[in-house]
Structure formats: structure tokens, C-alpha cells
Amino acid sequence: MPDRLQEAKGRQVYLVLRDRIVSGAVRFGARLPNENDLAVAHDVSRVTIRRALGELEREHLIERRRSLGTRVIYRPSPARMTADISGVLANIANMGRSTKVKLLSFDYVPAGSAAGEALGVGEHDLLQRAVRVRSVDGVPFSYLVTHVPERIGITFKAKDLADRPLLELLERSGVKVERATQRISACLAAPHVAKALGVKTGSPLIELVRIVYDRDNRGVEHLHALYRPDRYGLEFDLVRSGDAAQRSWSALPQAARKSKTNGKTKSPDDLSI
């Protein structure tokens, strides 16, 4: 039990230090406190600190030298992606052309799943399932699993999905996209996702589930997306609204956001590709 407790503490220290490094709170070239000071700050033993630093070193986040101490060698990507939550279906084509995609799988599966139920498809029908990883500057930032009804999926091939955003393919097939619902939360990276995104198993990820509907209120796409929080963020602009007695925050209308940025949104939106 003591060994397991120390291992858990070491993991906790590792996660805290890693978060500070990848978030930029501790910048490239900065030196970390020595093992004694870190042990006191985190209320753990030097052995536990040494284990945590070993993990960070194996991930090439820090460099340890006997005479010089521990230095941060991680450089945050200058091209960290951000997406405007309030512009749900905006800029999809732009994102598709500004990032690179790797198609991991493309097949048809029975609809008897959460995706099939969400899309309102019969359990004996088929769904086209695709798994993709998107990267920017050669660094993966999103793991995307999409399901669409077979009647739509047969209108395009795997090569099309590797080259074009899914929303564009849906509209090319004749689908008139009307609205979408989405849920944003967090999860931990499973081994296969961690490998695809270049992170450790159990690393925290942003999780998004979206269902897209056509004008007849039929589900046409189910998206389950996982994002590296050090490479991708979610944001939206707020404005104070309401009367003087009950002022509150509201999302800034997209037209107003465009006028602020000379007709351009601040960042591409990967949330529905």
C-alpha cells in the first residue's frame, strides 16, 4: 500500500508540473526548483519528486543536468488552435484546408450504438464510421470519430473524407444542414487515442459530442471529438446585456464579431469537420 500511495503522489506531482509547463506558466528555458524545494512544496519525498521529474524528462519537457539543475525545454506550439463556440458551424471549410488530416479507419458498422440512437437510425441499419486525426504544423491536436447514416455515407469515399471537411461532403450530397446540438466536457485519453495524439495514456482531453440535423430535423452526423488542451482551446466573446436591474453576460452576435475582426473570424472551427 505505501508503494501504491507514493506512486499515486508521484503521478499527481507529475501532472501538476506538466500542466504548468505545457500551459506556458513555466516558460521555455526556466529552471525548476531543486528536488528538496519541490518535495517541500508538494509535501512528498525526494524519491517521489525524482520519479515525477523522470517522467517529464522522458517526455522531453525538461532537461536535467547534475551541475546546472532542471531546465524546461518544451516550447508551446505557436499555432495552438482555438475555436469560437458560438460559431458552431462556421469556418469548417477553412479549417479543413488549413490543417492536415490522417484517416485512420473508414467502414460501415451496425447502428445499434449510442451514435445510431442519437441519429434516430434503426438498429438494423448501417452507419458509416470514420476515425481521423487532425494536425497543425505536424503536431496532432484532435481525434475525431464521426458516424453518418448509410444513405449519406455512400455518396463519398474514404479518399474524399481524407481531403475534404465532412460538412462539405454532407452538403455536396444534398443535405441541408439546419442546426446542431453539442456537449463539451473532459475525459482521459485511452491508450489508442493517446498514441494517435502523441500524449500519455490517462492525459486529460477536451471532449465534445455533437449531433447535426438537417432541415427535416433528421440526424445527419454524430461527432465524438477529443482535443489536446495544450494544442486546442475553446473561446467565445461576451457582452453585457439586459436592463440595469438584471444585467447579465450574453454571447456576442457573429456579425458583431466579424466587424471587430474586419470580416474575419478569430480562428478556424474544427468542431464539426
- Domains defined along the chain, listed by start: 2-72 (1.10.10.10), 81-260 (3.40.1410.10)
Strand 204-214 relative to strand 126-136, pairing:
unpaired
Q: What is the pLDDT of residue 87?
A: 45
Instruction: Give the 3-state secondary structure of residue 166.
Output: helix
* CA 158 to the chain's CA centroid: 23
Among 211, 210, 206, 209, smallest CA distance to 193 is for 206
Contact call for residues 111 and 126 (beta carbons, < 8 A): yes
Angle formed at CA 174 by CA 166 and CA 94, multiple of 5 degrees: 35
* CA 118 to the chain's CA centroid: 21
Torsion of CA 202, 104, 212, 92, to 10 degrees: 100
Q: What's the rounded Cα separation, in Å, for the pair 132 and 142?
A: 8
User: Counting every residue, how long is the chain?
Assistant: 273
Q: What is the pLDDT of residue 3?
A: 65
Q: What is the pLDDT of residue 173?
A: 92
Distances (CA, A) of 269 to 58, 67, 89, 99, 229: 33, 46, 8, 11, 15
Q: What is the pLDDT of residue 241?
A: 79
Q: CA gyration radius for the chain?
A: 22
Torsion of CA 105, 106, 112, 114, to 10 degrees: 60
Q: What's the rounded Cα separation, in Å, for the pair 32 and 17?
A: 10
Q: What is the pLDDT of residue 131?
A: 96
pTM of the model: 0.69
Mean pLDDT by 10 residues, the chain (273 residues): 69 86 83 92 90 91 89 73 45 55 94 88 91 89 95 93 87 92 89 91 89 94 92 77 76 53 38 46
